[in-house]
A and B are shown apart, each in its own frame.
Chain A
């Protein structure tokens, strides 16, 4: 027997390939436990029904605010909901960081030649995300239908960029908040859940809040880029649409912070005793 020399090059293509492989295997594992699968289908169906009831409640609660129409606010509301679903379905692993850190399960990730972030993302699949995606997606579709939008190639392209950035910001916030696991060991997920709940503010146009809160939602924990900015761009709100250009920057900023926190956190990581 001879030894083969291996190389490590993580091109974006390879990362995508590994993500698909890991995600696919997880999904297969879930589907193979057929009893779990049926429970899951049942739960998903139940979520849908609750979801539509919820939708009805949502519509009854959405106000018309400061020049934002009903469907425009509904869109923002739905973006928070939808991005949460994407976060749990495809990036559920961020929510398992507490366990990974406290149980010393990161050991296994650290000895493998692929990015830690990728491995964290692929730690699990949150099937409940399907419900959020379906309902959120439905409301987004309805609002795009109801609002008069001037579709052109540029508007479609900018919409795609802004929406992709919105999802990236959301995932980045999840990741950054869950990095608290390296510092806060005993209070469960309280901190990341608190950060997560700040998303509630962004279900409405941030212009209704005080300047401090607006700045916080734009610069601190930039949920504004998940809902408000995409809405402004899509619906052509002149005062705010220009901020759309900052969307990819906001995504880079959030991910940069998240990766930095992860790096610092990993230096503190203590594994666990045997």
Chain B
């Protein structure tokens, strides 16, 4: 059963257009002009229970706006949205007990009171039964290593500590769905690891559904099976992480260490203009190519015809460069749309 169902979800913000300077300000008093900013521009999204979804895109693509609509903070301009059967902004309370949210930049904790007291307050707000509260609190304190700072007030915590406390606060009431907006931003590696393994365990043990926005590709590779890419308020890719790798990972780079200079480098790939050749040092070459157009062995064969090859290795692109190229529009999305998206929709 799908837990989150969005159809044609849209959010339009009205922004005032102001001309610069005092004249502009005075003018604005009398004639107000606005432009519509389509932050989320008609997205369809279905998430089943227990799924782990990475929701990525460049800054301003509409990630946070989507999450804020799903969590009942923002009212959609149009479209349909149901989370576990409830319309978040209309049935705000029903929605609120089912979700946990961490908005990376902003804490859910009370600034001036100790973390332990904050968690106690949340227990009363969410009406968490005593035994469930004890059980969760003990588990969280251990898994997230909170012993050292649970007696401090939120304002005294470091970023990493605060993020861990926020995560505990968001999961204390055993929500079905957790929205994490940039949960590891600015954290060091060891804290990132703690947070990731904690989230993984929640998903595994309790079947908590996860929707995560992040710029950290480690988060995506570590936590998520499904990847949704949004840009300019529209979903431009929705499928498994593996499928995007397969579909887009056509590009390979071959690094060569030569024993002698190339005789006539310009003639090497004159028939294949898309092959890129960079000199990375004396007797060193890096050649980028599309593996469906030319094979690695063909490239090596051509090089050997002009020079000695001492050594070579082939690089596969990492997920980071793939996603970056999707944003930049330099990867062919039609190709991806044919296979992985269709496959995942049918599933």
**Which residues of A are interface residues toward B (Cβ below 8 A)?**
1-4, 6-8, 10, 17-18, 21-22, 25-26, 28-30, 32-33, 104-108, 110-114, 266-267, 269-271, 273-274
Contact = CB atoms under 8 A, between A and B. Distances in A.
Given A1-B135, A111-B101, A111-B108, 14 more contacts: A1-B206, A3-B207, A4-B128, A6-B173, A8-B97, A21-B124, A104-B106, A107-B68, A107-B73, A107-B106, A110-B73, A111-B96, A114-B93, A269-B74
12 contacts: A1-B135, A4-B128, A7-B97, A25-B113, A25-B117, A28-B113, A28-B117, A267-B89, A269-B75, A273-B60, A274-B64, A274-B104
B74 A18 contact: no
Q: List the 9 closest A-B pairs by CB distance, nearest first.
A: A29-B112, A113-B96, A8-B93, A3-B174, A4-B132, A110-B73, A6-B97, A113-B93, A113-B97
A274 B105 contact: yes
Given A3-B206, A105-B106, A274-B64, A111 B121 contact: no
B39 to A, nearest CB: 9
Interface in B103-154: 103-108, 110, 112-113, 117, 121, 124-129, 132, 135-136, 139, 153
A21 B126 contact: no
Contact of B72 (A1, A8, A110, A270): A110
B128 A112 contact: no
Nearest to A269: B74
B174 A18 contact: no
Contacts of B71: 110-111
B99 interface: yes
Contact of B121 (A22, A107, A110): A22
Interface of B: 13, 60, 64, 68, 71-75, 89, 92-94, 96-97, 99, 101, 103-108, 110, 112-113, 117, 121, 124-129, 132, 135-136, 139, 153, 173-174, 176, 181-182, 205-207
A164 B344 CA distance: 61
Question: DSSP majority for the A interface?
Answer: loop
Contacts of A271: 64, 68, 73-74
A112 B124 CA distance: 11
Contacts of B101: 111
A150 B270 CA distance: 109
Nearest to B60: A273
A267 B75 contact: yes
B113 to A, nearest CB: 5
A112 B125 contact: yes
A29 B174 contact: no
Contacts of A30: 112
B108 A108 contact: yes
B211 to A, nearest CB: 14
A4 B134 CA distance: 13
A111 B74 contact: no
Nearest to A9: B127
A113 B126 contact: yes
Given A6-B97, A267-B75, A271-B74, A108 B124 contact: no
Contacts of B110: 25, 29
B106 A1 contact: no
Contacts of B74: 269-271
B112 A6 contact: no
B33 to A, nearest CB: 16
B174 A113 contact: no
A17 B121 CA distance: 11
A143 B117 CA distance: 44
Given A8-B96, A269-B74, A1 B108 contact: no
Contacts of A17: 124
Contacts of A266: 75
B174 A114 contact: no
Contacts of A18: 124-125
A95 B110 CA distance: 18
